[in-house]
């Protein structure tokens, strides 16, 4: 990475993804001239400490983006809708994790290992993919390059951290309640999540598919540049704290082999091959929590498809599925000179509270 010094903001800094962004930017040594944290009015004034520095959280509102080079939006779509245009108007690049702009034809939806060219064509906003889409494509993209993807079916095993910190607390509380014989309280999910699975992630559409399932289809098409890709998914919430897993059955245009598939995965920078079934070696969400790469294993010839493969992938939904992918996009832009610092803003606006 070059010596550029970028002025950075995080919108939604007190949430789960915002906290991951804070740590990743520091731990990966992103070249920051300054960092500002934004959240809702009720969190304004809160002091956040990381890496020996203290930052005072500011209210996320119009007019606060002057002087920033890039703002990572880690809040919901309503926040993006309200504030992203103002940030762009102030000359600040927006890298957004919400679904608000993902399917906008004018906004690139980018996974840097797959379609980095989108980072050059932005008009002020870059969209981050859905967490399950990102993890799934870390397995499918290298196989597409090798064999030509025709269609895929997927069932997800999604951790509760994808819903947020309150869902993590609910799982923990329900486990303790069941162990101690206390009543189980349900607030976040419509059913008990402890020792259970819930075949619903997001709300149902008229066609019976959830929003999450539809996102995986539409986003896969856009990111991979395959507008006619056939996709059918079932998304499921499981009692795992962190990292999503996906079972995939994919059909390809060209003949496949397990050996060639393993070689393609092993050579891909976004994945690590963990596939030795004789020794019970395969990816699990625990093994791929807080890992940069996604784990791919259980690769085998599909018994229903022609030219088909069945496989399994695990990856951190808060990292590659959200914060890490956003940071990787920004890192690539800095390396290539596509994200440069503009004229420095007054120090009082940018310097963190000591």
Q: What is the pLDDT of residues 177-214, one digit of tens each?
A: 999 999 999 999 999 999 999 999 999 999 999 999 99
Secondary structure of 194-211 in HEC code, one letter for each residue: CCCCECCCCCECCCCCEH
Q: What is the pLDDT at residue 51?
A: 87
Does pLDDT of 24 surpass 60?
yes
Q: What is the pLDDT at residue 96?
A: 98
CATH for 179:
3.30.360.10
Do residue 170 and residue 46 come from a single domain? no
Rg (CA), the chain: 21
Do residue 179 and residue 113 come from a single domain? no
Would residue 344 count as lying in a domain? Answer: yes
Q: What is the pLDDT at residue 2?
A: 52
Do residue 239 and residue 202 come from a single domain? yes
Would residue 85 count as lying in a domain? Answer: yes
Do residue 82 and residue 93 come from a single domain? yes
Q: Residues of the chain with pLDDT > 70: what percent?
A: 95
Do residue 149 and residue 93 come from a single domain? no
Q: What is the pLDDT at residue 25?
A: 98
Question: Residue 98, exposed/middle/buried by CB under 10 A (0-12, 13-18, 19+)?
Answer: buried
Number of structural domains found in the chain: 2
Q: Answer yes or no: 131 catalytic.
A: yes
Does pLDDT of 350 surpass 70?
no
266 and 258 in contact (C-beta within 8 Å)? Answer: no
How much is the pTM? Answer: 0.93
Do residue 75 and residue 25 come from a single domain? yes
Q: Answer yes or no: 176 catalytic.
A: no
Do residue 340 and residue 241 come from a single domain? no
Question: Residue 309, exposed/middle/buried by CB under 10 A (0-12, 13-18, 19+)?
Answer: buried
Q: What is the pLDDT at residue 344?
A: 42
Would residue 34 count as lying in a domain? Answer: yes
CATH for 37:
3.40.50.720
- Rounded to an integer, what distance in angstroms lies between the CA atom of residue 157 and that of residue 239? 9
Q: Is 177 helix (H, G, I), strand (E, B) or coil?
A: helix
Report residue 57 as tokens: 């959280």
Q: Residues of the chain with pLDDT > 90: what percent?
A: 94
Q: What is the pLDDT at residue 3?
A: 60
Instruction: Categorize the per-residue pLDDT at 343 as very low, low, confident or very high, splitting at 50, 70 and 90.
Output: low
Range of the domain at 36: 6-129+321-350
Q: What is the pLDDT at residue 342?
A: 82
- Rounded to an integer, what distance in angstroms lies between the CA atom of residue 105 and that of residue 128? 14
Marked catalytic residue, from 100, 122, 144, 244: 244
Q: CA nearest 68: which of 44, 98, 43, 32?
A: 32
Instruction: Summarize the confidence of residues 25-36 as an average pLDDT.
Output: 96
Instruction: Summarize the confidence of residues 319-340 as an average pLDDT.
Output: 97
> What residue ranges in the chain does DSSP mark as E strands?
6-11, 32-39, 47-50, 53-56, 58-59, 70-73, 93-96, 125-127, 149-157, 230-234, 244-252, 271-273, 294-301, 308-315
Per residue in 228-253, pLDDT (tens digit) is: 999 999 999 999 999 999 999 999 99
Do residue 248 and residue 138 come from a single domain? yes
Q: What is the pLDDT at residue 246?
A: 99
H-only helix segments in 65-130: 77-89
Marked catalytic residue, from 92, 131, 144, 294: 131
Do residue 293 and residue 238 come from a single domain? yes
Instruction: Categorize the per-residue pLDDT at 347 as very low, low, confident or very high, splitting at 50, 70 and 90.
Output: very low
Would residue 1 count as lying in a domain? Answer: no
Q: CA nearest 345: which of 5, 4, 7?
A: 7
Do residue 158 and residue 286 come from a single domain? yes
Instruction: Summarize the confidence of residues 123-141 as an average pLDDT.
Output: 98
Would residue 47 count as lying in a domain? Answer: yes
- Rounded to an integer, what distance in angstroms lies between the CA atom of residue 64 and that of residue 58? 9
Instruction: Summarize the confidence of residues 51-69 as an average pLDDT.
Output: 95
Do residue 284 and residue 196 come from a single domain? yes
Would residue 185 count as lying in a domain? Answer: yes
Do residue 45 and residue 191 come from a single domain? no
Name which of 88-102, 138-152, 203-217, 333-347 the model is least confident about: 333-347
């Amino acid at each position: 990475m070059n010596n550029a010094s970028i002025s950075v903001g995080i919108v939604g800094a007190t949430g789960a993804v915002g906290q991951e962004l804070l740590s990743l930017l520091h731990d990966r040594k992103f070249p920051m001239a300054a960092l500002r944290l934004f959240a809702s009015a009720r969190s304004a004034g809160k002091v956040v400490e990381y890496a020996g520095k203290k930052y005072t959280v500011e209210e996320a509102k119009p007019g606060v983006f002057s002087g920033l080079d890039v703002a990572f939006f880690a809040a919901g779509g309503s926040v993006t809708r309200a504030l992203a245009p103002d940030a762009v108007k102030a000359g600040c690049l927006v890298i957004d994790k919400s679904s608000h702009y993902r399917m906008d034809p004018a906004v690139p939806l980018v996974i840097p290992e797959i379609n980095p060219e989108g980072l050059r064509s932005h008009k002020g906003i870059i969209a981050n993919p859905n967490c399950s889409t990102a993890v799934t494509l870390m397995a499918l993209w290298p196989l597409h390059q090798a064999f030509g993807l025709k269609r895929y079916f997927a069932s997800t095993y999604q951790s509760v951290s994808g819903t947020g910190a309150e869902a993590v607390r609910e799982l923990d509380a329900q486990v303790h309640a069941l162990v101690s014989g206390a009543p189980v309280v349900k607030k976040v999910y419509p059913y008990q999540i402890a020792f259970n699975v819930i075949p619903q992630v997001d709300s149902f559409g008229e066609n019976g598919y959830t929003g999450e399932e539809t996102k995986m289809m539409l986003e896969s098409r856009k990111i991979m540049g395959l507008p006619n890709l056939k996709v059918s998914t079932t998304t499921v919430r499981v009692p795992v704290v962190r990292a999503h897993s996906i079972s995939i059955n994919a059909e390809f245009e060209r003949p496949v082999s397990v050996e060639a598939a393993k070689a393609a995965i092993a050579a891909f920078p976004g994945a690590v091959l963990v596939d030795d079934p004789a020794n019970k070696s395969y990816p699990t969400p625990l093994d791929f929590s807080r890992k940069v790469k996604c784990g791919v294993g259980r690769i085998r010839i599909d018994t229903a498809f022609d030219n088909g493969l069945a496989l399994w992938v695990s990856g951190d939904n808060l990292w590659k599925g959200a914060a890490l992918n956003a940071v990787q996009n920004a890192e690539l832009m800095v390396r290539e000179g596509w994200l440069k610092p503009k004229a420095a803003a007054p120090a009082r606006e940018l310097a963190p509270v000591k």
